[in-house]
Homo-oligomer: A and B are copies of this chain.
């Protein structure tokens, strides 16, 4: 295997670093190709998605590098879907970016900042984004913890204007803290104003938080949020579909918004002017059929005009507190404890909790909740009940499963 002028001995360790795990030879090729594609096609490029879906990332990249002709590309696509004009335009878009050394440099830069590359099929791939269909991301560059990525399926996006008011920030702080308490992770876009407050409040509540960026994960934007984003990388996750080194652009902000909407169970607009960019995220959520909420505010505040517009004209639900936000996308609650048969081996929550526990490595409640996909409350309740039964035990650094004969076998 030789790609982009790199031999196997160079590709393998790089790809393994980006994947964060050992891969088969073919998976290595595909991952490498998706990494390259993420620098060739702009986010949301439907034709790149169609090519990769149809022929695979590696094969379509090989064809592109070999000739980049309309004929060679058309041969990879199912008949009738794409006309030649579209292919010509796509090749014109991609050709200036067929720069192997830039691609390899960006991968090496990713490895340097401990970024990983998630591709569809990865256990941590946020399956919500697959609902974007032809506009789904080809790959996601990630810096952060597994727990934060695993928490995405139970996340709510809190978004809003950069020009937030004290009111908007206050409400966002209450919302993020309240949702974390109810077992949700907080997704946002790391911008000034509402976004930043959403991340900060989630971190302050020891919750999971994920920031989607419009540029590479090695260059934090806005730069005034360097410290915040560094903390999110340490305790949450930062995600982008752009490779390292790429700057954010207007287009990329809009495309980033579709990821925020798709990766979350629901989107809540906290505060937004009449033309705020967060209305774009709301529109994506709505198009995807994701629940959409908006927080009302004073009608005398221009910073709430976009929220009122969403409630009035776009059937966003009027949400005023974390309970109402949680109702948009309820998490499975553990059933009443000690009810008939609730704690027998067939209880799905119990099974999931056990799967999330280790006999040897103590784990904190938040970590267990993230792994099990259960709310913090549910985990605490189940742990309490199971401790009484002697099934689990609390150690200094967290909870462990009590070893049984079956575990020692």
Chain A residues proximal to chain B, CB less than 8 Å: 167, 170-171, 295-300, 304-305, 308, 311-312, 317-321, 324
Min C-beta distance of A296 to chain B, whole Å: 3
| Contact between chains at A318 and B324 (CB < 8 Å) | no
Bound state CA distance, A317 and B316, in angstroms? 11
**B299-A321 in contact (CB<8A):** yes
Task: Report the bound CA distance from A296 to B304 in whole Å.
Answer: 10
Whether the pair A312, B318 counts as a contact (CB closer than 8 A) is: yes
Across the two chains, which residue of chain B brings its CB closest to A304?
A: B296
Contacts of A300 in B (CB 8 A): 167, 170-171
Task: Judge whether B321 and A296 touch: CB under 8 Å.
Answer: no
Complex Cα–Cα for A308 and B308 (A): 11
For A304, what are the chain B residues with a Cβ–Cβ distance below 8 Å? 296
Q: How far is the CA of A167 from the CA of B299 in the complex (A)?
A: 9
Taking a contact as CB atoms under 8 Å apart, the answer to whether A299 and B296 are in contact is: yes
By a CB distance below 8 angstroms, the chain B residues around A320 are: 299, 305, 308, 312
6 A-B contact pairs sorted by A residue (CB < 8 Å) = A305-B320, A308-B320, A311-B311, A312-B317, A312-B324, A318-B318
A319 to B312, CA, bound (A): 7
Q: Which of B295, B299, B305 contacts A295 (CB 8 A)?
A: B299
Residue in A297, A305, A317 whose Cβ sees the most chain B Cβ within 10 Å: A297
A311 — which chain B residues lie within 8 A by C-beta?
Answer: 296, 311, 318
B299 near A299 with CB under 8 A, answer no
Q: How far is the CA of A321 from the CA of B304 in the complex (A)?
A: 13
Q: In the assembled complex, which residues on chain B have CB atoms less than 8 Å from the CB atom of A319? A: 312
Please give the distance in Å from A248's CB to the nearest CB on chain B.
Answer: 31
A304 CA to B299 CA, complexed, in Å: 11
Q: In the bound complex, do residue B295 and residue A297 qualify as a contact, i.e. CB atoms below 8 Å apart?
A: no
Residues of B within 8 A of A312 (CB): 317-320, 324
Q: Which residues of B contact A167 (CB under 8 A)?
A: 298, 300
Within the complex, the shortest CB–CB distance from A322 to chain B, in Å, comes to 11
> In the complex the two chains form, what is the Cα distance from A321 to B305 in whole Å?
11
Complex Cα gap A318–B313 (Å): 9
Q: How far is the CA of A311 from the CA of B295 in the complex (A)?
A: 12
